[in-house]
Amino acid sequence: MIDVKHIESVTFNGEKIVLLDQTKLPLEEVYLEITTMKDLWEAIFELKVRGAPAIGIAAAYGVALGASQLEEQAYDEFLVKYEEISDYLASSRPTAVNLFWALNRMKRIVVDNKETSVADIKQMLHKEADAIKKDDAEICESIGENALTLMKDGMTVLTHCNAGGIATAKYGTALAPIYLAKERGMEIKVFADETRPLLQGARLTTWELMQADVDVTLITDNMAAMVMQQGKIDAVIVGCDRIAANGDTANKIGTYGLAVLAQKHHIPFYVASPLSTIDMETATGAEIPIEERPAKEITQGFGKQTAPSGVKVYNPAFDVTPNELITAIITEKGIVQAPYYESLQTVFE
pLDDT value at position 155?
A: 97
Percent of the chain with pLDDT over 70: 98
- In tens, the pLDDT along 23-51 reads 999 999 999 999 999 999 999 999 999 98
Last residue in a domain, options 84, 110, 140 = 140
Q: What is the DSSP string of 82-121?
A: HHHHHHHHHTS-SS-HHHHHHHHHHHHHHHHTTTS-HHHH
Residues 235 and 277 in one domain: yes
- Going by the DSSP 8-state scheme, the letter that residue 237 receives in this structure is E
pLDDT value at position 3?
A: 63
| Cα-based angle 243, 293, 217 (whole degrees, multiple of 5) | 70
Residues 135 and 50 in one domain: yes
- Across all residues in the chain, what is the average pLDDT? 95
The pLDDT confidence band at residue 96, using thresholds 50, 70 and 90, is confident
The pLDDT confidence band at residue 2, using thresholds 50, 70 and 90, is low
Residues 41 and 132 in one domain: yes
Residues 242 and 158 in one domain: yes
Percent of the chain with pLDDT over 90: 93
Residues 39 and 149 in one domain: no
- Side chain identity, residue 1: M
pLDDT value at position 255?
A: 98
Residues 228 and 251 in one domain: yes
The pLDDT confidence band at residue 7, using thresholds 50, 70 and 90, is confident
Summarize the confidence of residues 93-113 as an average pLDDT: 93
Element (H, E) at 44: helix 37-45
pLDDT value at position 8?
A: 83
279 burial type by CB count under 10 A (0-12 exposed, 13-18 middle, 19+ buried): buried
Residues 161 and 136 in one domain: no
Centre a 10 Å sphere on the Cβ of residue 347 and count the other Cβ atoms it contains.
16
**Active-site residue among 136, 193, 221, 241?**
241
Q: Is the pLDDT of residue 349 over 90?
A: no
Note the residue count of the chain: 349
**CATH no. for residue 90?**
1.20.120.420
Residues 332 and 292 in one domain: yes
Whether the link from the prior residue into 197 is cis, omega within 30° of 0, is yes
Query: How many domains would you assign to the chain?
Result: 2
Q: Would you call 319 a catalytic residue per the annotation?
A: no
Residues 126 and 157 in one domain: no
Enclosing domain of residue 240 = 143-346
Summarize the confidence of residues 91-106 as an average pLDDT: 92
- In tens, the pLDDT along 198-257 reads 999 999 999 999 999 999 999 999 999 999 999 999 999 999 999 999 999 999 999 999
Residues 176 and 109 in one domain: no
pLDDT value at position 95?
A: 84
Q: Is the pLDDT of residue 268 over 70?
A: yes
Last residue in a domain, options 140, 158, 178 = 140
Residues 110 and 209 in one domain: no
- In tens, the pLDDT along 147-169 reads 999 999 999 999 999 999 999 98
Could you give the C-alpha distances from 287 to 243, 250, 281, 292, in angstroms and in order?
11, 11, 10, 15
pLDDT value at position 97?
A: 86
Last residue in a domain, options 140, 172, 187 = 140
Beta strands 189-193 and 216-219: pairing type?
parallel
Residues 66 and 148 in one domain: no
**CATH no. for residue 242?**
3.40.50.10470
Q: What is the DSSP string of 244-309?
A: ETTS-EEEETTHHHHHHHHHHTT--EEEE--GGGEETTS-SGGGS---B--THHHHTGGG---S-T
